[in-house]
Amino acid sequence: MRAIILAAGLGLRLQQPPGEQFPKCLLRFDGMTLLERHLRMLDAAGVTEIVLALGFQPEQVKAELDRLGHSPHPEIVLNQRYELGSVLTVHTVADALTRGGDVLLMDADVLYDERILAALVAGDSVNRLLIDRDFETGDEPVKLCLRDGLPVELRKQVAVGLEYDTIGESVGFFRFSEQTARRLAQIVAGYVERNQEKMPHEEAVRDLLLEGGHAFEIADVTGAPWLEIDFPGDVARARDEVLPQLQRWSGVPSGVTP
């Protein structure tokens, strides 16, 4: 199993002061960067093949990797046009998507409990989505809608009249079998060929879900704390609300340092 961590974006909505901007994966909580948390949790879950998709300020991320001395060293792939959408970043790591085996596709800017990752990696080869039914409504969350246990929508805006019996927020982590990962790479390549590089990669995943032919399991992680960090207020929420709830796992502190 291979993990692809998307960490290329500028993070403009975080409103960092000019000249002091840094990749969101380097945000620190309890003295530990999000990147270090990702690496430790993946290692604990037995996922040792890791690909980092970088773009903005890659040298800062490389310096953090050098500091951590993580082994094996993650593979680094650069998206030189990182200011465009994340679909281009996924296209940049097409080789990692298609070289075989199950693939985890993960946003880097998420602070999350170990139960989130455990639900994603459990079992044999499978396609899997994560849903959190306890979410704040609004335009920002990517909604995952189900009907009879099957995904029928993955978008921030749910179409009026769409029939579904379950709705929640997509955590932003996906698992794809080898065959499905290869198909996703083809869909993403189509976006790039049509000059739609500015699209979010979730649109390509949505196309994959709705075209059929790929069975997806749905793992309900409602109750497990997590937060995607996009805005300044999210940093405070992550520190004050999410961090104190995280379960402790070997070698990684979960509480707020006094």
Low-confidence ranges of the chain (pLDDT < 70): 12, 15-19, 247-258
Residue 15: its pLDDT value, please? 61
pLDDT tens digits for 80-134? 999 998 999 999 999 999 999 999 999 999 999 999 999 999 999 999 999 999 9
Q: Which residues pair with 168 in a beta bridge?
A: 144
Residue 176: its pLDDT value, please? 98
Strand ranges in the chain using DSSP code E only, listed in sequence order: 2-7, 28-29, 32-33, 49-54, 75-78, 103-107, 110-112, 128-132, 143-147, 150-155, 166-176, 217-220, 226-228
Instruction: Reply yes or no: is the peptide bond before residue 72 cis, omega within 30 of 0.
Output: yes
Task: Give the span between the Cα atoms of 165 and 190, in whole angstroms.
Answer: 31
Residue 137: its pLDDT value, please? 86
Counted domains in the chain: 1
> Domain of 215?
2-245
Half-sphere exposure of 103 (CA within 13 A, CB side): 25
> Do the domain assignments include residue 255?
no
> Do the domain assignments include residue 167?
yes
Residue 182: its pLDDT value, please? 98
> Do the domain assignments include residue 11?
yes
> Do the domain assignments include residue 126?
yes
> Do the domain assignments include residue 115?
yes
> Do the domain assignments include residue 135?
yes
Q: Which residues 6+ apart lie within 8 Å of 52 measured at CB?
A: 5, 7, 61, 65, 74, 75, 76, 77
Radius of gyration from C-alpha coordinates of the chain: 17
> Do the domain assignments include residue 258?
no
CATH number at residue 87: 3.90.550.10
> Do the domain assignments include residue 47?
yes
